């Protein structure tokens, strides 16, 4: 890692990173932004952020914007589904970001799946 790369790499907590991603999406006019705390539900990530774009073009642009902003703070993300633009997933380690067209988001309803409370959670 070069000195320049080291100086741009910022150490953020998962919660700070989630807040930053939500801010990036809000500034980019994403709609219906939801953040789900996954820390007690799974080990795959600490947070999941879900948002909608009005069109395939906007969903792709949102994904690109978030990826650029994450890279600017020294965090690389993997992007899946950008060519289609209906559902784009960004894996940023502690944060998983799902970007949808509204119809696709409604069909898959992943926030409903992850917000489920299991009977064992209440004991």
Q: How many domains, the chain?
A: 1
> Where is pLDDT greater, at 113 or 3?
113
Q: For residue 85, is it within any domain? A: yes
Q: State the first-to-last Cα distance of the chain, in angstroms, to the nearest integer.
A: 47
Which domain CATH number covers 29?
A: 3.30.460.10
Share of the chain above pLDDT 90, in %: 60
Residue with tokens 């799974």: 42
- Taking only the tens place, the pLDDT of each residue in 62-107 is 999 999 999 998 988 899 988 888 999 999 988 999 999 999 999 9
Q: Assign 3-class secondary structure to 73-86.
A: CCCCCEEECCCCCC
Q: For residue 5, is it within any domain? A: no
Write out the residue range of the structural domain in which residue 81 sits: 11-106
**What is the pTM (predicted TM-score) of this model?**
0.83
Question: CA dihedral in degrees (32, 41, 88, 5; nearest 10)?
Answer: 100
Confidence label for 116 from pLDDT (cuts 50, 70 and 90): low
φ and ψ of 9, to 5 deg: -80, 120
Q: For residue 123, is it within any domain? A: no
């Amino acid at each position: 890692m070069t000195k320049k790369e080291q100086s741009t790499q910022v150490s953020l907590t998962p919660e700070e990173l989630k807040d930053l991603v939500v801010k990036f999406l809000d500034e980019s006019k994403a709609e219906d932004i939801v953040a789900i705390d996954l820390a007690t539900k799974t080990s795959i990530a600490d947070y999941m952020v879900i948002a909608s774009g009005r069109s395939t073009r906007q969903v792709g642009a949102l994904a690109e914007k978030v990826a650029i902003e994450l890279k600017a703070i020294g965090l690389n993300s993997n992007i899946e589904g950008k060519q289609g633009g209906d559902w784009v997933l960004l894996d940023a380690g502690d944060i998983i970001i799902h970007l949808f067209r509204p119809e696709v988001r409604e069909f898959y309803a992943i926030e409903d799946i992850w917000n489920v409370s299991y009977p064992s959670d209440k004991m």
